[in-house]
Structure 1
Amino acid sequence: MNELRCSLLVIGGGPGGYVCASRAARLGVDTILVEGQRVGGTCLNIGCIPSKALIHAAELYHNAVQQAGTGMQGITVSAPRLDFGQTQEWKTGVVDKLCNGVAGLLERSGVKTLKGWARFRDGKTVEVESETGPVLVRADNVVIATGSVPVELPGLPFGGRILDSTAALALPQPPRRLAVIGAGYIGLELGTALAKLGSEVTMIEAGPNILPQYDDKLTRPAKRRLEALGIALRLNTKSTGWDDATGVLTLQGEDGEERLEADAVLVTVGRRPATDGLGLGELNLRLNGPFIEVDDRCHTSMRGVFAIGDVTPGPMLAHRAMAQGEIVADVVAGHANAWDKACVPAVCFTDPEIATVGLLPSEVPEGVATKVSEFSFRANGRALTLDAAEGFVRIVARESDHVILGIQATGPGVSELVSGFALAIETGLRVEDVAGTIHAHPTLGEALQEAALATASMANHG
């Protein structure tokens, strides 16, 4: 068996893993990265990037259909045609470009990349089943960055017409009738995109609300949009059976049993850490359910073993994994670094988009008085010129000193505002700081200033 030695072994080439490996190598650490498939991980290959590309293409097609019908802003076109094969080729091209960029980054950084599947022998030794045979890697430090996989439902194993998000993104054609089980962000994003591409979509959610992590006011515009797009929504409803021969999904809701015919069923009920086959039983790691517990430097309970990203407790977001990867690279290289983030921004690329940073009003600790202010995009010039004035920006500030604790928004393009929201919280700004900063006109960002003005003094246009 071939044997390799290194100072740092990173298992997993997703956003957290490749950032950790490339940064560590550039800091002078002898680094090996092991990835069983293609560098870039779920996010670049089968998640964030291809889904956003599909969402964009779906919006273009949906607008063209509207322009060919009643028209939009006085623009009418002839009947549009969807060549979904070309759409998929374009999406794949975007993915390829980014993944090739990651591979080039690792090479330029001096990272040795090993394609294969890793399994722990002990905390310092990993056996990799590579394309050319088994390789034994001995490392002073090991990072577990293997990400997550979709959760299956009993009676609905993935395969055939039962789709996970990966299969949904690889469809040769939009299905005529699509059932989506789970109205979280993945289900809403893909379900909405496929509805705009012509699918008859039914959303099925076991709970009483879509996007249950957010309050009703924040999700209400997205819910209204589902209705406008003709997407049927079944809340407080569970899937109780599937007949693959007839393509019938059995549902149990508040009004009793319902049978739903579907050409495909997309299951988006959550994700779990991807640790199967990794040999974690050979290690003595402290776990929190299926997640690996880490400290503020991403150390596990074993010396020299780190974990980052979706395998650790916290939001399953690529940018959190990247931030953790930076920390581990610095720590292994001998530099001081630790997790001291005030917030982790989150975006749902629904229609309209939803962006959140910091605390929701309901998440403020008991005993902390707050002032909550909002500004509607209906009074924002830029939103009106985009013909997309549904939504608002909301600021949650501590009443005693007006320090911003949270910012939420739903509306057109709010994903591009979220970094500014995060900056305000990370730097400890008060609403007066935001209110006193000149915001360019006409822009969507003015809604943030107006929401701040509503607490600091008075909104100019509220």
Structure 2
Amino acid sequence: MSSREYDVLVVGGGPAGYYAGLITAVKGLKTLLVEEKHIGGTCLNKSCVPLATLLKYLSTIDLLNKLSQEDTGISVDKLSMNAEKVFNYVRTNVVNVLSESMRKTLEDLGVEVLKNKAVLVNESTAKVGDSYIRFKKAIIATGLKWSSGDGVRPCTEFIDLKEPPNKVLIIGCNPFGLSIASTYSMLSSEVIVVDGASEVLKDFDKEVVNYLMLALAERGVEVMTNTVVSGIVVKQGVKEVRLMRGNEVLTVGVDEVFNASVSNPRLDVLGGLNVKLRNGYVWVDDSLRTSVGNVYAAGDVTGISTYAHSAIVQGVVAGVNVSNGNMRFTCRVTPRYTFTYPEVFSVGLTEDEARSLGYEVLIARQSLTSNALVRASMSSGMIKVVVDSKYGGVLGVHGVGYGISEVVNEASITVTLESTSDTVINTLLAHPTLGEVLRDALLQVLKI
């Protein structure tokens, strides 16, 4: 058995593990981070970053086409795109470069980074590859694994295809599934999205979701709720998918099927460690400590949230606490958003949630077409703010439109700090910027 010993073992190099490793290194602890695949995890390598990058590229093409069609003086006659080269460029020049940069940052801070598989043998020993190491404390940040099956790819493989499929079916009307659907539709694929639930993006405000659904329909995306996949048969390279919607049975032929609905936490890291689970995920208290006192967990593996921004903060909290700190993860306000075209987000309470909790609310709506930058990009959308009519507190902010995700952090801070509408209105916001739309909407409920 190796005599290598560490103050902290971090298993997993996604957002949670990366930030946990940063914190423990800054705190002066001898840290080993073990990642089986690539630093950055699913978000960087297979979902958020590739989707956001492709949205940027594809929406730029869309804008150039619009400018060419209008009498703007801008003409683009030979604009073309090779999807295979674009996908490869995103992987090589965005994803891989960022992943290597993250690795270098960790190593520059003194973190030892190993590409290998780690399994906890007990509360102080782990097997890493063929060797054993000892640790004083550990942080589990192994994330999720998306399910696949006969004829079904995990949604994380959407970026791995050489070219977009002519026709694709995506299982899951959630942010990941709809973002992939939107991306493929902009690449001229025929797209069907199915979900057994009756609602699309149920945690989002209905008004902005309805706007998004109309936009996706205009691009030819067919969304089928209350619909489940009951079987897939491959015939001559075509996947015949059997769908059930109530008593109705449908069959559609597609080139690819992606699952964005079913995922499970990666728990093989636990090995011989008897850690308490909750609904199949690693149980943690508000300090992110597991039922084993010197072992913490952060990110998707806890089941708290599947958003990377939640994983980042969990990683920070876990890193602080294994360094003898005393930080709590509250998760009071979690921004929800998609990388669709147009983008959509919800922060805080939706209008329905606020009313169901007994609030008397004022609703402020503002069209994005009144914003200079939105007009310049030849796009549209709206922002909606839910305000407590009694005290003026901003309870929720919801938006839809291209680039509207640039407002989500401003909205999150506003709701988290329980800011009033008057406070936001009296804050000096740079002009012209997209972030001004929050203030402009709140002018409608200004109390004189």
TM range (shorter): over 0.9
Match in the other structure for 2:257: 265
Per-residue CA shift, 1:230-287, capped at 9, x if unaligned? 2222232221111112421111225722211111112211432121x2235x333222
Match in the other structure for 2:447: 457
Distance 1:400 1:62, change over 3 A: closer
Q: Residue 140 of structure 2 aligns to which amino acid in structure 1?
A: I
- Other structure's SS at 1:285 match: coil
Distance 1:443 1:65, change over 3 A: closer
Structure 2: state its 5+ residue gaps. Answer: none
Match in the other structure for 2:11: 11
Q: Residue 414 of structure 2 aligns to which amino acid in structure 1?
A: A
Instruction: Name which of 291, 295, 301 aligns with 1:301.
Output: 291
Distance 1:66 1:241, change over 3 A: farther
1:318 aligns with 2:317: no
Distance 1:347 1:253, change over 3 A: same
- Other structure's SS at 2:117 match: strand
Shift of 1:63: 4.8
Match in the other structure for 1:408: 398
Partners of 2:347 and 2:398 within 8 A in 1: yes
**How far apart, in 2, do the equivalents of 1:66 and 1:254 lie?**
42
Partners of 1:65 and 1:79 within 8 A in 2: no
1:430-441 to 2 correspondences below 5 Å: 430-441=420-431
**How far apart, in 2, do the equivalents of 1:59 and 1:199 lie?**
16
- Other structure's SS at 1:122 match: coil
- Other structure's SS at 1:350 match: coil
Distance 1:79 1:235, change over 3 A: farther
1:379-398 to 2 correspondences below 5 Å: 379-390=370-381, 392-398=382-388
Partners of 1:36 and 1:116 within 8 A in 2: yes
Distance 1:344 1:233, change over 3 A: closer
**How far apart, in 2, do the equivalents of 1:356 and 1:82 lie?**
33
Partners of 1:66 and 1:72 within 8 A in 2: no
Match in the other structure for 1:244: 234
1:194 aligns with 2:184: yes
Match in the other structure for 2:363: 372
- Other structure's SS at 1:247 match: strand
Match in the other structure for 1:139: 135
1:121-140 to 2 correspondences below 5 Å: 121-129=121-129, 134-140=130-136
Match in the other structure for 2:173: 183
Q: Residue 261 of structure 1 aligns to which amino acid in structure 2?
A: G
Match in the other structure for 1:87: 86
Give aligned-pair identity as a percent: 27
Match in the other structure for 2:77: 78
Structure 1: state its 5+ residue gaps. Answer: none
Distance 1:66 1:449, change over 3 A: closer
- Other structure's SS at 2:306 match: coil
Shift of 1:432: 0.8
Partners of 1:324 and 1:339 within 8 A in 2: yes
Greater mean deviation of Cα atoms: 330-339 or 194-203? 330-339
Partners of 2:146 and 2:156 within 8 A in 1: no
CA root-mean-square deviation: 2.3
**How far apart, in 2, do the equivalents of 1:341 and 1:226 lie?**
31
Shift of 1:354: 1.1
Partners of 2:241 and 2:253 within 8 A in 1: yes
1:256 aligns with 2:255: no
Greater mean deviation of Cα atoms: 436-445 or 183-192? 436-445
Q: Residue 387 of structure 1 aligns to which amino acid in structure 2?
A: M
Q: Residue 198 of structure 1 aligns to which amino acid in structure 2?
A: S
